[in-house]
Amino acid sequence: MRIALISIMFCFVGSAALAQEPAVVNKVESPTVKALTGLTVSEFEQEMQHFVQAVGVSCGGCHMPKGNFASDENPRKVKARQMVEMTKALNQQFFPGHTRVEGESVLGRVTCFTCHQGELKPKSAP
């Protein structure tokens, strides 16, 4: 009887522990992803959509045609990486305690939209 009770308790504790384990999510792991590392596939795709809205261009604005997303031939893609690194550094320096809310850019408070506001060229000061 005691063994049965312990077994039942173990099943409940074990299943509760399994229920609390985070779901395994595919991380974007590619040698061509250099600036937005450590994101899940979903987060990465959402961040790419933030770029599209912030800079006002489609995927082809940075990526080569015909779905060659790995190519670095387009100088805009190289510049975009530099800008992502700059944005990450600004957020790390000036907003180190910022907690991201759902749907917000993974970059932080300062994003591509901060300067570009939907335009390819950043907005100039008035």
65 inside domain: yes
Question: Structure pTM?
Answer: 0.73
The amino acid that residue 113 corresponds to is: F
123 inside domain: no
5 inside domain: no
pLDDT, tens digit, 9 for 90 and up, residues 15-48: 444 445 444 457 777 888 899 988 989 999 999 9
Domains: count for the chain:
1
SS3 of residue 71 by DSSP = coil
**Residue 89 confidence (pLDDT) above 90:** yes
CA distances from residue 4 to 12, 16, 115 in whole angstroms, order as listed: 13, 18, 65
Q: Quick one: which of 52, 50, 30 has its CA closest to 41?
A: 30
16 inside domain: no
126 inside domain: no
Average pLDDT in the chain: 82
**Containing domain of residue 37, as a range?**
25-116
Q: Quick one: which of 36, 40, 100 has its CA closest to 62?
A: 36
Query: Taking the CA of residue 24 as centre, how many other CA atoms within 13 Å lie in the half-sphere pointing to its CB?
Result: 1
CA distances from residue 43 to 26, 104, 105 in whole angstroms, order as listed: 10, 10, 9
48 inside domain: yes
20 inside domain: no
